[in-house]
Amino acid sequence: MAGSKKDINTADAEMDNHLRCIFYIKPKPAPTKCSPFVVEFFGVLSLTDLREPERKLWYIYYCKQSDIEHTVHQIHQKYGKKNMYEIFQKPVFSGAALRASVKKHFAELKWFTKGNLLEAPPKSHFNNERVCKTVTDLRNIEQQRIYNYVLVKSQWYSMYNR
């Protein structure tokens, strides 16, 4: 009597796992929870403190495309809509990675970085245009890293499959 289809699938899976162990092949990766069709955005808002207008503040954020309005609305609720405006918003591969690199870059410049808030030191020469250019450069570096990684993997794959 033939086994059920479910028994055959589990037997195939067990055999696959066994062969992978014998030949030191990496196990099959589990499906990821991330959808490749959902675009993530990274943005920078220029913030003006009405009590101290000489302070230079910027707020960085990242979110999925469908959550942009909600995220920006929450930020406006917290800091006031009149006090800020958008200076940068672009699609990115990983908003968390770009946020970390932006924070690290500005922390190395001796900026005050707390959470998503960036504050330039007093008498700093940075303005909105320079911050926007710096973030754009960091984004381009991140994209170049991803491109190089994919290119190397593609070349390795093409050499391996000859």
Q: Which residue has the higher pLDDT, 78 or 158?
A: 78
Q: What is the β-pairing status of strands 112-114 and 84-92?
A: unpaired
pLDDT score of 2 more than 60 = no
- Tell me the C-alpha distance between 127 and 55, whole Å: 11
> Which pLDDT belongs to residue 129?
94
Over 87-125, what HEC string results? EEEEEECCHHHHHHHHHHHHHHCCCEEECCEEECCCCCC
Q: Considering the domain boundaries, does residue 126 fall inside one?
A: yes
Q: What is the pLDDT of residues 120-146, one digit of tens each?
A: 998 888 999 999 999 999 999 999 998
Q: Considering the domain boundaries, does residue 159 fall inside one?
A: no
Instruction: Provide the whole-model pTM.
Output: 0.73
pLDDT score of 162 more than 80 = no
Give me the domain span that covers residue 128.
41-151
Task: Look up tokens 């970085």; give the residue.
Answer: 113
Q: What is the pLDDT of residues 6-18, one digit of tens each?
A: 666 777 778 777 7
Q: What is the pLDDT of residues 89-117, one digit of tens each?
A: 999 988 889 999 999 999 999 999 998 99
Q: Considering the domain boundaries, does residue 158 fall inside one?
A: no
Which residues is 97 bridged to in the sheet? none
What integer is the mean pLDDT of 47-67? 89
**pLDDT tier, 157 (very low <50, low <70, confident <90, very high otherwise):** confident
Q: Considering the domain boundaries, does residue 34 fall inside one?
A: no
Whether 42 contacts 61, CB under 8 Å = yes
Structure tokens at 160: 């391996």
Q: Considering the domain boundaries, does residue 18 fall inside one?
A: no
Q: Considering the domain boundaries, does residue 113 fall inside one?
A: yes
The HSE-up count of residue 45 (CA atoms within 13 Å, CB side) is 24
Structure tokens at 89: 């918003």
Total domains present in the chain: 1
Whether 26 contacts 20, CB under 8 Å = yes
Q: Considering the domain boundaries, does residue 29 fall inside one?
A: no
> Which pLDDT belongs to residue 21?
77
Q: Which residue type is seen at 59?
A: Y
Closest-CA residue to 118 (of 65, 8, 43): 43
Percent of the chain with pLDDT over 90: 48
Q: Considering the domain boundaries, does residue 119 fall inside one?
A: yes
Helix, strand, coil percentages (3-state) for the chain, rounded to 5, are 50, 20, 30
